[in-house]
Amino acid sequence: MNKVILYCRPGFEKECAAEITEKATAHEVFGFARVKENCGYVMYECYQHEDADRLIKTLPFDTLVFARQWFVCGELLRDLPPEDRITPIVGMLTGAIERAGELRVEVPDTNESKELLKFCRKFTVPLRAALKENGILLPYEKASRPVVHVLFIAPGHCYVGYSYSNNHSPFYMGIPRLKFPSDAPSRSTLKLEEAFHVFIPADEWDERLASGMYAVDLGACPGGWTYQLVKRSMMVHAVDNGTMAQSLMDTGQVTHHAVDGFRFEPPRNNITWLVCDMVEKPARVANLMADWLVKGWCREVIFNLKLPMKKRYEEVTQNLALLSERLSENGINFEIRARQLYHDREEVTVHARRIWGAVPGRRDER
């Protein structure tokens, strides 16, 4: 198995390919990416056989922006016989992986694949039984073991392989399933909720998204992101010239500031979270986020970078580099991650946090 499949948002295959090529090469895994526009995945073919496994084991999945999921696989299985699709799949996995902890039968995230998804659900049951019988899957689900992936790209045609559970997306098809809360004022509430799921480990939510924390939401109206913060019992300064949903104002947890988000200064020094969904030039937003972190006005930020029509990968890398440089030159120890979330369209979401104290230039460990 010398290939790595990466799932992405349809339309962003070129960005996903540019990213994996650059990062795999920097990791000394040489190969080339195959791109078919709007198909929802990219194939990175390694020149050395064992390199595909090494890549998904050692390149941190969290560092990828445009990939939702990845797995190692071999050649496409074509024209599986309808009377026995299982034997070729078992054959492909035999010797490649054993005692895996889970099976995911998936499709690319395209409209054409929706029909196939129904088949995948049904097919999972007999395939799972066969994989267990052959020792490829453990008799019970185990989260710490590798995951077997079967990706159907058309009826009877699939890629088969595996990913490592400590270096992949924990979600089926790389997409957290979230339900739109009927009382939220806008659908973009799901963007911030997804960002929490992707960037904050579940066992750290109680500490890092704790009730009673103070947050600032720049470009807040009508309040989808503020809703998420309020739901976690935070106190929110919502900054926007627009109108906030009355239901949020009625909670007593929200203070609305009808001012420019680029000029707003926090009224208190105990802000934990800054979130920002202002539609603005990416570099302007990245600089603003750097200002807040450098001045110690907040501890963690989540913000969107709206992407241009062209050179989208370059735009993302430049802005992440700009943020890193600003924090580094101010002696701040930090962590930055970015991901094009399922609920993002022409944008990516970035999370950054200070790991050290709030005084610029001083490394006071917390």
Q: Which residues are catalytic?
A: 306
Q: Which residue is nearest to ligand SAM (CB)?
A: 224
**319 contacts ligand SAM (rule: CB under 6 A):** no
Q: Classify residue 233 as left (phi > 0), alpha (psi -120 to 50) or beta.
A: left
Report the distance separating Cα 29 and Cα 39, nearest Å: 24
Who contacts 24 (Cβ-Cβ below 8 Å, separation ≥6)?
30, 31, 44, 46, 55, 59
- Verify binding: residue 296, ligand SAM, rule CB under 6 A: no
223 marked as binding residue: yes
Chosen residue from 172, 262, 334, 356 binding ligand SAM by CB under 6 A = 262
130-133-139-143 Cα dihedral, nearest 10 degrees: -60
C-beta of 64 vs 229, nearer to ligand SAM:
229
CB atoms within 10 A of CB 323: 25
Per-residue binder mask for ligand SAM (CB under 6 A), 221-250, x = binder: xxxxx-------------xxxx--------
DSSP 233-277: T-EEEEE-SS---HHHHTTT-EEEE-S-TTT---SSS-EEEEEE-
- Contact between residue 19 and residue 44 where contact means Cβ atoms under 8 Å apart: no
Site for ligand SAM in 2-21 (CB under 6 A): none
| 291 among annotated binding-site residues | no
Nearer to ligand SAM, 264 or 334 (CB): 264
276 phi/psi in degrees, rounded to 5: -150, 120
Question: Nearer Cβ to ligand SAM, position 60 or 242?
Answer: 242
| 188 lines the binding site for ligand SAM (CB under 6 A) | yes
- Which of 11-19, 24-32, 61-69, 258-266 is the region at the interface with ligand SAM (rule: CB under 6 A)? 258-266
Could you say whether residue 277 binds ligand SAM (CB under 6 A)? yes
Residues at the site binding ligand SAM, with contacts judged by CB under 6 A: 185-186, 188-189, 218-225, 239-242, 260-262, 277-280
